[in-house]
Amino acid sequence: MTAVVDRAAGVAGAPTAATHDTYEALGIRRVINANAALTRLGGSLMPSPVLDAMRRAAGAFVDMHALQVGVSAEIARLTRNEAAFVCAGASAGLVLSALACITGDDLRSVARLIDHGAAALPRHEVVVQCVHRNPYDPALRLAGARIVQAGNALQTFEWELAAAITERTAAVLYLAGPRFAAGALPLETVLRVAHAAGVPVVVDAAAQLPPVENLWRFTEMGADLVVFSGGKALRGPQASGVVLGRAALVEAIRVHASPHQRLARAMKTGKEEMMGLLAAVRWYLAQDHAAVAARNDSTVAGWVASLGSLAGVTVRRDLPGEAGQPVPRALVTLDPSLGILSAAVQAVLLTGDPAIDIATAGPYSLFLNPEWLEPGEETVVATQVAAAIRVLTRRSGSASR
């Protein structure tokens, strides 16, 4: 229940006011996030245990090799994994995973990769199902990997995946989540085919929390490395992430990473991020997930009732959430006769006071997401959305006259 109390006091707690002053002093407005854990909005807000852990970590020097080993061992234990590595975000985790799969922990291979690029190594291709190509997979290219597509934009057959895997394959990347499952081979099949060829499978599960079980589900299924963002649902430091999985591959990650002065030094993680992420994992595991889900449900139900009473507006609860998670949103649909496009509502909300960021869902629909709101903001969102619709209805009415 502490989780609920913590939430009721505001996830970020006391630092919030100071943060707003800081932004305003620069002439930059804070934004209410009714959209998603988006990096362009600052990701997520850290709960006080995370902020406290970062502040404490900032107060003393420490051996960074030892800290990474210690923090990772604890995160691995908490998440029921063999090993873990704290990195600078899920994208950094993908770069590190690709580097590790290309070189292993062999320092001569690491040196060859640094001097001549990944193509100088025998295994430098990462196989990705065409349906799993996504805006984050350039991370593989940053490691020097060549992306080899399997299947087409609609589907992959097992034989296509098997044929794409050759003696040049370093890994297969799998994009987890129900939203990316259509037409894709299931993870079980990918694991069977890749492992039969002796090739590891890296799972990008950056935004696949909740459910909390995903922290161990993919590795229990046999995935070799699984990457999560630290700054999304875990509410850890925004520039943090974690790779979970097999000890040998995590050792290979370590070889490339800071504090070594090698390729991934460019994606270093500080003592504050490491201790912050550990606190975030503890905080997330201790959450009353059913209570959080109930609160999201009640916020959405409130929006359905209040906004649904507006003329020409229908509102319903919609699942799954933005990245396919089991988090409900309100789907607000404007009758075309109102003459209002959802993009116009979005623009009015973003320039309003306070600014609110939402996602559109086609020309006449928009999503309202309860997940990242601070207590009380759900009412602000309802009021501002209703006001925006009213203003735009008036405008469109006067334009047609």
Ligand X SMILES: *Cc1c(COP(=O)(O)O)cnc(C)c1O
- Which CA distances in Å does 378 have to 101, 148, 361, 399? 45, 44, 19, 32
Q: Specify whether the CB–CB gap between 260 and 85 falls below 8 A.
A: no
Q: Using the minimum distance from each CB to ligand X, give the nearer residue, 323 or 327.
A: 323
**Any contact of residue 233 with ligand X (CB under 6 A)?**
no
Using DSSP's 3-state secondary structure scheme, residue 151 falls into: coil
Cβ neighbours of residue 4 under 8 Å, at least 6 residues apart? 288, 291, 292, 295
**Any contact of residue 322 with ligand X (CB under 6 A)?**
no
Of the candidates 85, 174, 171, 172, the residue with the CA atom closest to the CA atom of residue 121: 171
Sign of CA dihedral 284, 286, 289, 292: negative
* Number of amino acids touching ligand X (CB under 6 A): 13
Cis peptide before 354 (omega within 30 of 0): yes
User: Which one of 203-211, 249-257, 274-282, 334-342 is the stretch in contact with ligand X (CB under 6 A)?
Assistant: 203-211
**Any contact of residue 136 with ligand X (CB under 6 A)?**
yes
Residue 275-314 contact track with ligand X, rule CB under 6 A, x = bound: ----------------------------------------
Residue 132 DSSP symbol: G
From the CB of 267, what's the least distance to ligand X, in Å?
A: 10
Identified binder of ligand X from the candidate list 35, 44, 91, 342, rule CB under 6 A:
91
**Any contact of residue 207 with ligand X (CB under 6 A)?**
yes
Q: Specify whether the CB–CB gap between 118 and 143 falls below 8 A.
A: yes
- Interface of this chain with ligand X, residues 100 to 119, rule: CB under 6 A: none
- Looking only at the bridges linking them, the beta strands covering 146-150 and 125-129 are parallel
From the CB of 172, what's the least distance to ligand X, in Å?
A: 16
Residue 241-270 contact track with ligand X, rule CB under 6 A, x = bound: x-----------------------------
From the CB of 163, what's the least distance to ligand X, in Å?
A: 26
Q: Using the minimum distance from each CB to ligand X, give the nearer residue, 92 or 194.
A: 92
Identified binder of ligand X from the candidate list 72, 129, 169, 229, rule CB under 6 A:
229
| Look-up of token digits 């993680």 | 269
Identified binder of ligand X from the candidate list 67, 71, 90, 307, rule CB under 6 A:
90
Identified binder of ligand X from the candidate list 45, 323, 327, 388, rule CB under 6 A:
323
Cβ neighbours of residue 23 under 8 Å, at least 6 residues apart? 29, 30
Q: Strand pairing partners for 85?
A: 243
Identified binder of ligand X from the candidate list 160, 204, 357, 377, rule CB under 6 A:
204
**Any contact of residue 187 with ligand X (CB under 6 A)?**
no
CB atoms closer than 10 angstroms to residue 366: 25
**Any contact of residue 206 with ligand X (CB under 6 A)?**
yes
The site for ligand X (CB under 6 A) is made up of 39, 89-91, 134, 136, 204, 206-207, 229, 231, 241, 323
